[in-house]
Amino acid sequence: MDDGVRGARVLVTGAAQGMGRMYVERALAEGAAAVHAWDADAARLGELAGLFARYPGVLTSATVVDIAYADAVADAFAGLPAEGVDVLMNNAGIVRGNDLFWETEVADLAATIAVNVMGALLVTRAVLPGMVERRRPARVVTIASAAALTPNPRMAAYAASKAGVASWSESVRVELERAGHGHVTVTTVYPSYVSTGMFAGARGPLLTPVVEPEVVVDAVWRAMLAGRPTVMVPSSVRTAKVLRGLLPARAYDLVAGRLFRVYGSMDAFTGRPE
């Protein structure tokens, strides 16, 4: 996208706070023709009204939608203008507790998979046919996690959800390329802990500090415009991917657990109330 998102139609999920709100602000500031914000939190979503008012020339909407439910996604998508979506930011995600897996409530397991995996699949499936058909440059960005690349105790369900959504996202990227739809690019994002409050109490592993959200948003935005397949923030996240591919499991456990202290990073996690 040589002109950035100027004139494009942008949809952001999980848009009411944190990095989601930052993506909304970035799209507005860079001249998007339309910005649609989806979130399950009606109160926080309503706070976007003041932000939207500063950009009267942009078509904006804020829709309360729980993307874990197919009917809710279908209804929200039906409410979008016929021009469709050019840029989709699959940003919505949740993390529940820091229990050992077998102590985790079934409802928390189900919610984690429903939002983090099915939510992204449902929204993208609604948006993608139009992107393919219109033949104009389009982007799909999915926020996975560094947790998709390494074992991480006390977040087993979250890690599973992010590994699943990452594998799906990268598979869709290849599907589009093989089907001749190169005008639609897919970017999968692997951030470590980000200081939005979502992972309050978590400690960044050695050489992988907790990252400021502005750093992640800027890296993701630049990669999205360029159509790059992956983003890893900070760059040390790549180390985990390389080491896990090279080392036997027990050797990796020693390196990740004792040296880099990945395995203890969630011990003091508190998170933020949803």
pLDDT digits (tens, 9 = 90+) for 171-211: 999 999 999 999 999 999 999 989 887 887 778 886 688 88
- Strand, helix or coil at 177? helix
Q: What is the pLDDT of residue 272?
A: 65
Tokens of 223: 């990669």
**pLDDT tens sequence across 90-110:** 999 999 877 899 999 999 999
Q: What is the pLDDT of residue 260?
A: 86
- Strand, helix or coil at 227? coil
**Which pLDDT band holds residue 89 (cuts at 50, 70, 90)?**
very high
Q: Which residue has the tokens 């309503």?
A: 46
Residue 222: other Cβ atoms inside 10 A: 12
Q: Name the more confident of 268 and 78.
A: 78
Is the model's pLDDT at 274 over the cut of 70? no
Q: Name the more confident of 1 and 110.
A: 110
**pLDDT tens sequence across 29-68:** 999 999 999 999 999 999 999 999 999 999 999 999 999 9
**pLDDT tens sequence across 110-163:** 999 999 999 999 999 999 999 999 999 999 999 999 999 999 899 999 999 999
Is the model's pLDDT at 273 over the cut of 70? no
Is the model's pLDDT at 88 over the cut of 80? yes
State the Cα–Cα distance between residues 210 and 46, nearest whole angstrom. 29
* pTM for this model (two decimals): 0.94
Q: What is the pLDDT of residue 203?
A: 81
29: CB partners within 8 A, 6+ apart = none
Do residues 187 and 228 make contact, with C-beta atoms less than 8 angstroms apart?
yes
Instruction: For the chain, give the secondary structure using H, E and C.
Output: CCCCCCCCEEEEECCCCHHHHHHHHHHHHCCCCEEEEEECCHHHHHCHHHHHHCCCCCEEEEEECCCCCHHHHHHHHHCCCCCCCCEEEECCCCCCCCCCHHHCCHHHHHHHHHHHHHHHHHHHHHHHHHHHHHCCCEEEEEECCHHHCCCCCCCHHHHHHHHHHHHHHHHHHHHHHHCCCCCEEEEEEEECCECCCCCCCCCCCCCCCCECHHHHHHHHHHHHHHCCCEEEECCCHHHHHHHHHHCCHHHHHHHHHHHCCCCCCCCCCCCCCC
**pLDDT tens sequence across 9-32:** 999 999 999 999 999 999 999 999
Q: Among positive and negative, which fits the CA dihedral 104, 107, 110, 112?
A: negative
